[in-house]
């Protein structure tokens, strides 16, 4: 029981800590200071953690990583769009 509570607290903290950066990037669409390689690896890692959570039936891992994956994909899309349009170097 205690480890379930800990997992939900950890999941909430790591997900919520990512939200301010995501909100800022979504509002400004400025991704010039974000590394494309890092964001590709981060997004892939989050998705793999979500798959792991599904495979092991761990709701805290599934929910937190699903939320983070959506935000990470949005930011990654802005980064790629900025590079292809020449706005982002």
pLDDT, mean of residues 67-89: 88
- Residues 32-57: tens digit of each pLDDT: 999 999 999 999 999 999 999 999 99
Ordered by where they begin, the domains of the chain are: 2-85 (1.20.1280.290)
Q: Residue 71 contacts by C-beta under 8 Å, 6 or more apart in sequence?
A: 18, 19, 22
pLDDT of 74 above 90: yes
pLDDT of 87 > 80? The answer is no
Tracing tokens 């929910």 back to the chain, one arrives at: 63
Confirm if 31 and 79 have CB atoms less than 8 A apart. yes
**What pLDDT, on a 0 to 100 scale, did the predictor assign at position 89?**
60
Specify the pLDDT at position 86. 76
């Amino acid at each position: 029981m205690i480890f379930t509570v800990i997992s939900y607290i950890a999941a909430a903290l790591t997900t919520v800590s990512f939200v301010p950066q995501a909100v800022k990037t979504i509002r400004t669409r400025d991704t010039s200071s974000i590394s494309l390689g890092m964001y590709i690896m981060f997004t892939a890692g989050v998705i793999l953690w979500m798959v792991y959570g599904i495979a092991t039936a761990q709701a805290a891992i599934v929910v937190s990583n699903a939320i983070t994956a959506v935000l990470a994909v949005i930011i990654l899309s802005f980064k790629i769009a900025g590079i292809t349009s020449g706005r982002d170097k």
